[in-house]
Structure 1
């Protein structure tokens, strides 16, 4: 694994995406539109101020998971990965290159989504906007890493979608969006405390309300980063050269 090959892979991925306007729109525009739709639904209430931070965590996470997993799977199904691995490029270069490319897109996606939520939808942030941005970026990168992990096991785009009930939906249901996590049944509360999206939602809500210290929020970000690194490592180890 070398830095040169990793950056070359990332550059190739970004070039491909740049020539696909629909994917660009899905990555950069759709999360903000969904956040705006939620804000519009609750225009005359205070609900959006309560769930807005969770929406910043939720929509980018889902979009990054889907786009990353399907794009990586297509590389394998088309034989591109097998051709790359027949050259000096290794699995680590491939996975890290994809992570770098989609990580860069996640930064732009997050900047747009956070800016839209705060300055267009009127989401009030009591804490640091930069800390909010840092948590949101980590959350989007989490979606990317889990997407890479899912693509290593899936054999088709349909199987990628099947991974959503396993990797995504439980985190949404237990992340504290619909009911505070401390009000969940004891067993589910314990499970929710180990799910990475729960850390992102907790941190975003804490920044929005300015209810926790920067050190507490940084600790949440570090946990999310540990999940990101673990997912990328596991994805590179289990990645197959070609899908039969």
Structure 2
């Protein structure tokens, strides 16, 4: 793996994203607007917005990074870009690292805008630091990127890449505790929830919401998400190979 090639790859991907105004709007404007809408809906219950809005700061980057990575990578596969890269000194981990850096930058920008709107304009209130909330959101978004990289290998078209959302993304959102408290779910659903990485991002956020201490439990939850990132990234890197002889 070459850091120089990795950063060149990241710069190429960022240039592609910056040239697409709709993608920039999706990354920066849409999450903040939807969180503002949720705040307006829950105007009579600020405590409910504190819980839901906080979780959405991680759910949005997770979902959007999955969509962007799966579609972008699938496009590069079908366009033959990966075929050409495999004939250059670019290693698999250079490509994966480039994507991680590029989409990590996007996730950081998205989280920064959404968090600024939530904390400064919508009065989101947490006991813990906003910086820790942003860090958890970025780690979660990298997990979404790693999943997108993985599923792009199994999609023949961009539409098929999007079709993985009901299988990999929606169940995690439903069962992470955003819609309904996990402790009030049926026992078997709690078991499924325990096996989903997004659950542990939400648990970490909920700890930041109620405590300023960075506990071992919080770091353990983040460690589980980071482990899921490593597994998905390694599996995704294994799919980066030439499709023609």
Alpha-carbon distance in structure 2 between the residues aligned to 1:39 and 1:161: 28
Q: Give the equivalent residue in structure 1 for 2:37.
A: 37
TM-superposed CA distance for 1:152, in Å, is 2.2
1:174-228 superposed Cα distances (whole Å, 9 cap, x missing partner): 1111211111111111111121111111111221122875322122111111111
Report if the CA contact (8 A) 2:61-2:138 is conserved.
no
| 8 A Cα contact 1:34 1:59, kept in partner | no
Residue number in structure 2 paired with 1:63: 64
| Separation in 2, partners of 1:142, 1:115 | 22
Q: Deviations over 1:38-94 (max 9, x none)?
A: 111111223212211111121221111111110111111111111111112122221
What TM-score, normalized by structure 2, do the two folds share? 0.93
1:85 aligns with 2:79: no
1:172 matched residue in structure 2: 173
| 1:18 match | 18
In the alignment, structure 1 segments of 5+ residues that lack a partner are none
Please give the secondary structure, in 1, of the residue aligned with 2:124.
coil
Structure-2 residue corresponding to 1:214: 215
Which position in structure 2 is the counterpart of 1:104?
A: 105
* Match of residue 156 from structure 2: 155
Question: For the residues of structure 2 that align with 1:100 and 1:110, how far apart are their CA atoms?
Answer: 15
Please give the secondary structure, in 2, of the residue aligned with 1:16: helix
Give distance in 2, aligned partners of 1:213 and 1:17: 35
Mapped to 1, the partners of 2:17 and 2:159 lie a distance apart of 21
The equivalent residue for 1:5 is: 5
Match of 2:27 in 1: 27
Question: Match of 2:197?
Answer: 196
User: Is the 1:153–1:239 Cα contact (8 Å) retained in structure 2?
Assistant: no
Kept in 2, the 8 Å contact 1:152–1:240? The answer is: no
**How many pairs align?**
243
Please tell me whether residue 128 in structure 1 is matched to residue 118 in structure 2: no
Cα offset for 1:242?
4.6
